[in-house]
Copies of this chain bind each other. A is one copy, B any other.
């Protein structure tokens, strides 16, 4: 009876779960990755925590979802802007350290797999999972199957261009969806507003240390009526709505499922998002799609990775 390890490696944290042979999470762990510039340091820390969690249990294999573009043939991370990684042979490095087979996948794809298996009614066949975190990812499930595409890179929703010549994105393009709704970007927008002298409940926090501004703090401020924070979420929901409208026109999915830490802003996002969808001209697919926000999505990405 074998156990499985699943890892969700993002721009802020790495989350790790151990599943028992019945696919139940029996151990969890978390590492902060945001301050680690060096890939080796992150990989070492991840491997060490994996060893701690599994103790002496027999692990069949390790699945890892990474916030980036993966070469599925080699298991290399081709590009992970929010980790600052380029061409890192993750599968080779991690399987050598842990002496077990490792499967590397895009983090949003792994999360979509976990979500589809546990959260979505089986009669819904086409689902787009949008992962809202430090960056923005997507997992596309069509006809009940993960759609990976020719090279396994499908689902790069975060780098779809929403505004030509728009805000610069970590990937090098301008106007990507992530440049408007990525966690790092909305924090940056709030700082820009405060620097411009706008009144905000977040200003004292900013003056203490700009690093204390987080998406969670921006959501709290918005709920307390702060105009700068409210405006951030209105624009967030509207821009995400425009992107989703395009996806809905293209794929006519039964459900769109928003997950990741930022999705916990909930109705702050959902209200302007739905208002934007109501303005679309092709009513049928816009009205029929269900839009859900994940409840407690913390370890769903790592869980999905363990299922790979």
Please list the residues of chain A having a beta carbon within 8 angstroms of any beta carbon in chain B.
69, 71, 78-79, 126, 138, 140, 142-143, 145, 147-157, 159-164, 169, 171-173, 242, 245-247, 249-254, 279-282, 284-285, 288-289
Contacts and interface: CB of A to CB of B under 8 A. Distances in A.
A153 B246 contact: no
27 contacts: A69-B282, A71-B284, A78-B284, A79-B282, A126-B147, A126-B150, A138-B250, A140-B251, A143-B143, A147-B251, A149-B253, A149-B285, A150-B252, A150-B254, A151-B252, A151-B284, A153-B252, A153-B285, A154-B251, A155-B250, A156-B249, A156-B282, A156-B285, A159-B249, A160-B245, A161-B242, A173-B280
A250 B137 CA distance: 10
Given A69-B284, A171-B282, A252 B152 contact: yes
A147 B142 contact: yes
Given A173-B280, A280-B173, A245 B69 contact: no
A250 B250 contact: yes
B164 A281 contact: no
Main secondary structure of the interface of A (DSSP, over half): loop
Given A142-B147, A143-B145, A153-B252, A246 B284 contact: no
A261 to B, nearest CB: 23
A219 to B, nearest CB: 25
A17 B78 CA distance: 48
Q: Which residue, of A164, A246, A253, has the highest number of chain B Cβ atoms within 10 A?
A: A246
A157 B285 contact: no
Contacts of A79: 281-282
Nearest to A254: B150
A277 to B, nearest CB: 12
A126 B147 CA distance: 10
Nearest to A289: B150
B281 A172 contact: yes
B284 A154 contact: no
Contact of A285 (B150, B162, B172, B252): B150
Contact of A252 (B142, B145, B154): B154
